[in-house]
Amino acid sequence: MYVLGIDVGTTGAKALLIDDKGTVRGKGHMAYGVRILPGGRVEQDARDWWSALVHAVRTASAKIEDKEEIAAISLSTQGAAMLPVDKDNEPMYPAMTCTDTRGLAEKEELKSKLGQEYFYKTTGLNLSPSLDAVKILWLSRHEKDIFEKAYSFISTLEYINCKLTGENVIDPSNAAARQLMDISSLEWDKGILQAIGIEKHRLPRIIPTGVRIGKLSRKAADELGLSTSVKVYNGAYNRYCVSLGAGAVREGEAVLSMNTDWAMLGITSKPLFSSLYISPGPHPMKGLWGALASIPVSGAALDWYLRGFTDKDCKKVNAEAEKRIEKTKNLFFYPYFTGAWLPFRNENAKAVLLGIGLDHDRYDVARAVMEGVALQVKRVIHEYHANGCEIHTLRILNGTGKNGLWTSLISTITGCAHNRVEEEDAACIGAAAIAAVGKGIFEDYVAAVKAMVKSTKTIEADRALADYYLDKYEKYFKTWEQVSKCFR
């Protein structure tokens, strides 16, 4: 018996075929693009999501002769790609992606109507032009005909669920990511809906992650090359599927996704609100919550350095940088290429290398860059701790997660042990776990991820360096208080 875990993300669709022992038996992928237009517009054609998914599924399942053995499907999807559709689920306008910022004026309008804190305390998210409350209001102001004729305003999960089964439904984690749902009640928020001028019936029905939606329609089964007996289970926002697919299923665990922008999702027992606007949301596991924090352009920081200042032989850079701990004691790098987030916001800030001397070389700078980002991670973990969530274990995945020196620095500086997840397509693993638990192959998510998630041995923090890095951490952010005044 097999299940399919599918991720419909921001740049493409991926599918993993996994057997009932938790082993990956097939993979498929197809990329698609975005249209970047003037005025902050970043759009996708929703039909590309489906075309790419069909290709990914057919590729992943190509070697399975008896398609009746494929029993279940679930989805991981990008969040807040707002799409107006007609009553037949056909797109009426390009999908406005989560990086679309055209609605700056509408953001200010909503801020004046309800207030910033209302949005944060209600939805768990800072009011943003990239989320759906603002985008739907923008549509009503600038594409009035589309707004009035649209039958429903949906996002990626609902669009694909409907293509698979005919049922237009969303899960709580994706509903929260749209900034339209009250996370305390898991219902569409009346105040926000009234402020943007729509009624509840123009949004999809919210049902729990893991609930069986139905079976593949004949049309979907034919396109995918599968049987109509395949059951479809409601999926989740890809950040939460990644947490499942990385094996973070207990309070106090966190996933650190190390891409261009780093993101950390901590697992908590209750919604975590903070002065730094960490974003709480409902986790697929009943009784648990996620707490999402972004660390912008962290992965890009080392790429920028390697590209501009040294060779791209990361092993050589690591080998030399590992020796430079004493020389970098007072060398501080602040990776604020696109503005500062920690420990306080400053949109005008820029990256800074502080303390450079004639005795420093490129390998000293490489270590400072890695330390600077790791110190940002420690500041995020401190924010979790200060608000009642003790993070003790990190699960690290994706690109720069393969950098041994960097990940060991993260463990040592933060004091958290870490495991590196071997399967990079963690979102697909998480979706597959949802399908497998729904089908009854595994008793629960803990059992599913134990079988499916492959990770390295636990790497402990170097306790001998704890005092050294605690001192550097305190100096690092105290110094930034003064440096930041240059960017008013």
Residue 148: Cβ-neighbour burial (10 angstroms; 0-12, 13-18, 19+)? exposed
On the question of pLDDT at 314 being above 90, the answer is no
Q: Taking residues 127-150, what's their average pLDDT?
A: 97
Let me know whether 232 and 261 are in one domain.
no
C-alpha to C-alpha distance for 144 and 53, rounded to whole angstroms: 31
Whether residue 217 contacts residue 165, with contact meaning beta carbons closer than 8 Å, is answered with yes
Is 440 inside any structural domain? no
- pLDDT tens digits, residue range 64-105? 999 999 999 999 999 999 999 999 999 999 999 999 999 999
List strands edge to edge, sheet with 35-37. 35-37, 41-44, 95-96
Is 102 inside any structural domain? yes
Look at the chain and report how many structural domains it folds into: 2
Is 448 inside any structural domain? no
On average, the pLDDT of the chain sits at: 93
Let me know whether 234 and 268 are in one domain.
no
On the question of pLDDT at 311 being above 70, the answer is no
Let me know whether 117 and 173 are in one domain.
yes
Let me know whether 203 and 260 are in one domain.
no
- pLDDT tens digits, residue range 348-364? 899 999 999 999 999 99
Let me know whether 200 and 348 are in one domain.
no
Give the CATH number for residue 147: 3.30.420.40
C-alpha to C-alpha distance for 278 and 290, rounded to whole angstroms: 10
- CA 463, 465, 468, 472 dihedral sign is negative
Is 371 inside any structural domain? yes
User: Which of 53, 148, 19 is CA-nearest to residue 436?
Assistant: 19
C-alpha to C-alpha distance for 424 and 418, rounded to whole angstroms: 16
Let me know whether 226 and 278 are in one domain.
no
Let me know whether 185 and 298 are in one domain.
no
Is 453 inside any structural domain? no
Let me know whether 289 and 234 are in one domain.
no
Amino acid at position 414, single letter? T
Let me know whether 390 and 306 are in one domain.
yes
The band of 400, judged by pLDDT with boundaries at 50, 70 and 90, is low
Domain boundary among 189, 206, 239: 239
Let me know whether 232 and 252 are in one domain.
no
Domain boundary among 215, 239, 263: 239
Let me know whether 191 and 264 are in one domain.
no
Is 451 inside any structural domain? no
Domain that holds residue 224: 2-239
Is 337 inside any structural domain? yes
CA atoms within 13 A on the CB side of 416: 29
Domain boundary among 188, 221, 239: 239
- Name the range with the highest mean pLDDT among 113-122, 308-317, 412-421: 113-122
The β-bridge partners of 291 are 266, 280
Q: Taking residues 250-268, what's their average pLDDT?
A: 90
378's CB contacts (< 8 A; 6+ apart) are 413, 414, 415, 473
pLDDT at 440: 97
Indicate the SS3 state at residue 51.
helix
More confidently predicted of 57 and 304: 57
C-alpha to C-alpha distance for 428 and 8, rounded to whole angstroms: 9
More confidently predicted of 283 and 275: 283
The band of 340, judged by pLDDT with boundaries at 50, 70 and 90, is confident
Whether residue 241 contacts residue 76, with contact meaning beta carbons closer than 8 Å, is answered with yes
User: Which of 163, 154, 156, 152 is CA-nearest to residue 214?
Assistant: 163
Let me know whether 201 and 299 are in one domain.
no
Let me know the angle formed at the C-alpha of 96 by 178 and 349, rounded to the nearest 5 degrees.
80
On the question of pLDDT at 402 being above 70, the answer is no
Is 425 inside any structural domain? no
